[in-house]
Structure 1
Amino acid sequence: MKRNNLQILSRLIVFVKPMIGIMIVAVLMGVAGFMAAILIPVLGAYGIYNVRTGQPLTTIVAAMILCAILRGVLRYAEQACNHYIAFKLLAHIRDIIFGKLRELSFAKLEVKDKGNLISLITSDVELLEVFYAHTISPVCIALIVSLICIVWQWSMDWKLGVCALAAYMSVGMGIPYVLSKRSSASGRELRKESGEQMAFVLESVRGLKELMWFHGVQKREEEILKKTKELAQKEKRVKEVMAQGMSLTNAAVIVFTVIIFVLAIHTSDRQCAVLISPILMISSFGPVIALSNLGTGLAQTLGAGNRLLDLLEEKVTVEEVTNGKNTGFDDLQAEGIDFAYDQEQVLKDFSLQIPQNRILGIQGKSGCGKSTLLKLLMRMWDVDAGKITIDGENIKNINTHCIRSHESLVSQETMLFHDSIAANLRIAKADAADEELVEACKKANIHDFIMTLPQGYDTRVAELGSSVSGGEKQRIGLARAFLHDGNVLLLDEPTSNLDSLNEGAILKAVDDHKKGKTIILISHRASSLQFADQIVKMTKYEKK
């Protein structure tokens, strides 16, 4: 979705609301710190003027030393407040992002580019630190310090005040506005391409084995290099605008300082104004120069913010139910359901009565909707027409927690986190005792393998590297499902990575596990379906 810069900034500022008290402290510290810095050269100018009039310098020197000390202390306090706000908010925003991803559920996550999501959660969120730590309070500080300096210049002569106003508006608003117009589109494009680049590299790493096997490494390297060069060119354009901004800002500072010096000579009737006014002017540009640099520096931040807002505003496909009904999962059936991925129809007027406490085997060619059916039964997606009922109640009216507590899924690919084997198993049941882990793993025929590991169940997956085979991962996934001990066990090709010996052991464990359980088993292998009490054959939907 396209948004202008003001819309993006206004939406990002909303996140600051819980930290408004600390933000006010940061602004006050910043104003005091900049005024202390400005006073050092200005007091020096007053000292030079006092020498000419024969007045002592003791008080002025003491004041300059005090201002120098205060400048360091106040600057530290301001930066500490700003970065405290920034990192607290970044943690809060990441929490919001993960919450949103959870809301979007499996349906959206399946079709999203994982590389882009990683880029959003990591580098895009980090770029927001520029906004929260170096934008909001600096804008307020620049406004207040500039007003103080304008009044000060005005007190010496109104023409000096008007010149100061024009200078601060040009450097703090005019130049940043022009540069932001030039760089905002480039910044958004850079963030988009950066996410795509990360996705491409991630895909290349995951598929490295296939690339090496089929001699595709060199071509892939060339594509990565090409994309990197294109990305570097876009970043170069953004940097060029930043360099132009710095040049314009420095030129404007010099020009306005000269103008105010000339005005002080010709218009002010106070002798000290000729010395004080230009020194005050050139030493007070610090806050507005920071704003000028933001005009281009914020380009990528605004792009990152826009991507973040796109995610947060994305509509939820399957909403979680928290105030619905709970059921016992005794009767499960699909009644005339239709389902399509975008325009690709997968299921049409499909009905199925799932026998209770039995093993139902499902056969069918790839693309006929077998795995899709399991996802619909788990309500990862909602059907387009018809309904899925549990104990006679539409699945859409049943609490999401109830569905997940009663159903377990073992898919073709098992995800193991970089934690201990025991911790990976306890994902299914956080308070499981060690004895329960052992029992579940024995059922899944993986206990003996785990006991050969250096620390047994406490062995960390990261330490095993590639020594864990796909079959062993799958058996750990099956052990998780046994540990979860739900009423309904959904098995999507659970033996696809196993040899015939382990397949037999696993299926025997599944058969032994079926007491009081409803099991749906999807498999291409006829041998895997020998334990099924009933077999259903699915055919691919063909549009007439």
Structure 2
Amino acid sequence: MNHQRRSGLKVMAGLIGMVRPLLGFMALAIILGCAGNLMATFITVLGGYGLLTAAGFYDGNLGQIILVIIVFAVVRGFLRYGEQASNHFIAFKLLARIRHKVFAALRRLAPAKLDGSDKGNLIAILTSDIELLEVFYAHTISPIAIGVITSAVMIAFMACLHPAAAVLAAVFYVITGLVIPVVNSRLGGADGVKYRDLFGRLNTVVLDNLYGLDEILQYGGQKERMGHMNEKSESLEKISLRLKKRENTQKIATDWVILAAGILQAAVCAAFVMSGQMEGADGVIAVIAMMSSFGPVAALSSLSNNLTQTLAAGKRVLSLLEESPQVQEVVGGAAPGNGAIHCDHVSFAYRTAGEKDKKGEKVKTGEKPKIVLEDFCHDFAPGMIHGILGKSGCGKSTLLKLMMRFYETDSGTISYGGEDVNRITTSNLRRHVAYVTQEIFLFHDTIENNIKVAKLSASREEVIAAAKKASIHDFIQSLPGGYETKLSELGDSISGGERQRIGIARAFLHNSPVIFLDEPTSNIDSLNEGMILKSLNEEKEDKTIILVSHRASTMGIAKNVVRM
């Protein structure tokens, strides 16, 4: 994904913009937080008034002061609970909303923008990055507002005691709650982004090692793969240590500033008391108020430690949401025509390096584009089986992807019954075509549900009929659970040929006018291949079937064969 350059403030603005539907709850959290923090501060201040009253330096009612302290202490607990409950309600609602937006973005970007992308980074965005945003929504937005409001109230209170005490408090509030966090965030911002990116890359390495475990053990690659993973882990650890050191430095700086604020306030108030410009009791209360009121702004200071990574996570999430798809989905377009599929002078190249794609967007390195198809012309008539024969890398699979409009042609057109594929409503096109890819993905679910991916409303009878056509029914029936047998992750509990046949069963169940099959029998024995090809031959009357293979023997049932 292309992480756009944007400042921390822009990232925060983008994340805060998502709170709009829940502004009422956010306002409630801020009100409760302000009331709770002010009560916590004034418990200490009232304690000071109580001691001064007991010592005879202040004319107050000690009983009333103690009663108010007790009330504030009890109410403070309820206010704190209400603030946290409101913040976490906002956070969890927004995280669900963001996940929905991210999955919608992935659907929009797939498959062209996601082909060859770093899957580990995508997993990191979908899991840990979005989870980190909980810190922002539950522990950042309202604390900032609470810190500003409570500081303003305390400045006003100290101004009633003496203007100088208020000015001094304002200066140290700004240093603690604004200067230290901003400086810390700027120093650690780049490391935060690097940490999130490296975390994603480590995820990719771990996934590779898990999925390739058989090959690693077979060829003795444990040491090399472990070394590669250790290298990523060490790089991550170095950045983590730098972030931890910066966090410790920030904590020490905050503590020193708060200590200096108390000492300076005590010195200034003492000078005013000695010069007769301030009452002794007011001087004591001003110092107590200053020292007891740093909680909200000190919380803002410590936010910068978590905020470094949170904003980096937010930047990655926002970049994904704003990523423009390589192929725009067509909404409200035409329906596919039922005539021939016509390819008219189609050319296509995969773009890499410094090259610009059809939309003028640059890619990363300076390699030349890999031309896969050039000036390809052909008509695929309905009611028959067509074969596309050629060696690996000649563009057979790419042609099917262009017909599915996973990619757009660089030049030339593809049309269905006279309708340009670029003007056909994308959802209509997907319903019009059943596409069996080389690598069949199976979900960690029952065999029946894996076949029903093609038609969720299908009955068991329809599933069985499709499985029989794909020559997989007898195998399924031989399993202890039959169609209720649950497959392991990625379908590793069955063979490659059985995975392919489940993919073909999906195509039969989809029952669309057009079927694309990309190397559908490459992992299937000759007996089952013959049965599947026989089923395809029986289905051809009202369908357009395009069969891609590098094996000439598979082309036996094709009436029309294109050699590439």
User: Do both proteins adopt the same fold according to a TM-score greater than 0.5, normalized to the shorter chain?
Assistant: yes
Which shows bigger deviation, 311-320 or 166-175?
311-320
Which residues of 2 match residues 411-450 of structure 1 at below 5 A? 411-450=437-476
Matched, 1:451 2:460: no
Matched, 1:505 2:510: no
Whether the 8 Å contact between 1:329 and 1:406 is mirrored in structure 2 is: no
Task: List per-residue Cα deviations over 1:174-201 (Å, max 9, x = no partner).
Answer: 1111111110111111111111111121
Matched, 1:274 2:283: yes
Match of 1:231 among 236, 239, 248: 236
Q: Which amino acid aligns with 2:253?
A: L
Matched, 1:527 2:553: yes
Task: Tell me by how many angstroms 1:142 deviates.
Answer: 0.2
Which shows bigger deviation, 14-23 or 527-536?
527-536
- Which residue of the partner structure matches residue 179 of structure 1? 184
Task: List runs of 5+ in structure 1 lacking aligned partners.
Answer: 539-544
Match of 2:142 among 122, 126, 137: 137
- Which residue of the partner structure matches residue 253 of structure 2? 248
Q: Distance in 1 between matches of 2:280 and 2:142?
A: 36
Match of 1:20 among 19, 23, 35: 23
Q: Distance in 1 between matches of 2:116 and 2:207?
A: 16
Q: Which amino acid aligns with 1:275?
A: V
Q: Which amino acid aligns with 2:322?
A: E
Whether the 8 Å contact between 2:143 and 2:299 is mirrored in structure 1 is: yes
Q: Distance in 2 between matches of 1:101 and 1:296?
A: 30
Matched, 1:312 2:321: yes
Task: List per-residue Cα deviations over 1:49-98 (Å, max 9, x = no partner).
Answer: 11122855221111111111111111111011111111111111111111
Whether the 8 Å contact between 2:346 and 2:410 is mirrored in structure 1 is: yes
Q: Which amino acid aligns with 2:191?
A: S
Q: Distance in 2 between matches of 1:464 and 1:202?
A: 13
Q: Which amino acid aligns with 1:286?
A: G
Matched, 1:188 2:214: no
Other structure's SS at 2:267 match: helix
Task: Tell me by how many angstroms 1:271 deviates.
Answer: 2.1
Q: Distance in 2 between matches of 1:263 and 1:18?
A: 47
- Which residue of the partner structure matches residue 158 of structure 2? 153
Match of 2:516 among 476, 482, 490: 490
Q: Which amino acid aligns with 2:50?
A: G
- Which residue of the partner structure matches residue 225 of structure 2? 220
Whether the 8 Å contact between 2:29 and 2:83 is mirrored in structure 1 is: yes
Structure 1 runs (4+) deviating above 4 angstroms are: none
Q: Distance in 1 between matches of 2:500 and 2:265?
A: 77
Q: Which amino acid aligns with 1:170?
A: I
Query: How many residues were matched structurally?
Result: 538
Other structure's SS at 1:388 match: strand
Other structure's SS at 2:541 match: coil
Other structure's SS at 1:107 match: coil
Other structure's SS at 1:368 match: coil
Other structure's SS at 2:399 match: helix
Match of 1:335 among 341, 344, 350: 344
Task: Tell me by how many angstroms 1:454 deviates.
Answer: 2.9
Q: Which amino acid aligns with 2:310?
A: T
Matched, 1:287 2:292: no
Q: Which amino acid aligns with 2:30?
A: V
Which shows bigger deviation, 286-295 or 202-211?
202-211
Which residues of 2 match residues 396-415 of structure 1 at below 5 A? 396-415=422-441
Task: List per-residue Cα deviations over 1:281-323 (Å, max 9, x = no partner).
Answer: 1111110011101122211111111112222222221111111
Other structure's SS at 2:235 match: helix
Q: Distance in 1 between matches of 2:153 and 2:40?
A: 14
Task: Tell me by how many angstroms 1:507 deviates.
Answer: 1.4
- Which residue of the partner structure matches residue 65 of structure 2? 60
Q: TM-score, structure 1 length as denominator?
A: 0.97
- Which residue of the partner structure matches residue 199 of structure 1? 204
Task: List runs of 5+ in structure 2 lacking aligned partners.
Answer: 352-368
Which residues of 2 match residues 361-372 of structure 1 at below 5 A? 361-372=387-398
Q: Distance in 2 between matches of 1:108 and 1:508?
A: 37
Distance 1:464-1:181 versus aligned 2 partners, 3 A rule: closer
Whether the 8 Å contact between 1:157 and 1:267 is mirrored in structure 2 is: no
Which shows bigger deviation, 91-100 or 260-269?
260-269
Match of 1:50 among 50, 53, 59: 53
Task: Tell me by how many angstroms 1:464 deviates.
Answer: 10
Q: Which amino acid aligns with 1:393?
A: E
- Which residue of the partner structure matches residue 86 of structure 2? 81
Q: TM-score, structure 2 length as denominator?
A: 0.93
Other structure's SS at 1:522 match: strand
Matched, 1:96 2:101: yes
Q: Which amino acid aligns with 1:281?
A: M
Whether the 8 Å contact between 2:443 and 2:489 is mirrored in structure 1 is: no
Distance 1:194-1:516 versus aligned 2 partners, 3 A rule: same
Task: Tell me by how many angstroms 1:478 deviates.
Answer: 0.6
RMSD: 1.4
Q: Distance in 2 between matches of 1:69 and 1:3?
A: 44
Other structure's SS at 2:413 match: strand
Whether the 8 Å contact between 1:171 and 1:249 is mirrored in structure 2 is: yes
Task: Tell me by how many angstroms 1:355 deviates.
Answer: 2.0
Other structure's SS at 1:349 match: strand
Whether the 8 Å contact between 2:125 and 2:313 is mirrored in structure 1 is: yes
Whether the 8 Å contact between 1:444 and 1:478 is mirrored in structure 2 is: yes
Whether the 8 Å contact between 1:104 and 1:316 is mirrored in structure 2 is: yes
Whether the 8 Å contact between 2:39 and 2:73 is mirrored in structure 1 is: yes
Distance 1:463-1:396 versus aligned 2 partners, 3 A rule: closer
Other structure's SS at 1:323 match: coil
Distance 1:334-1:443 versus aligned 2 partners, 3 A rule: same
Task: List per-residue Cα deviations over 1:151-192 (Å, max 9, x = no partner).
Answer: 111110000000100110010011111111110111111111
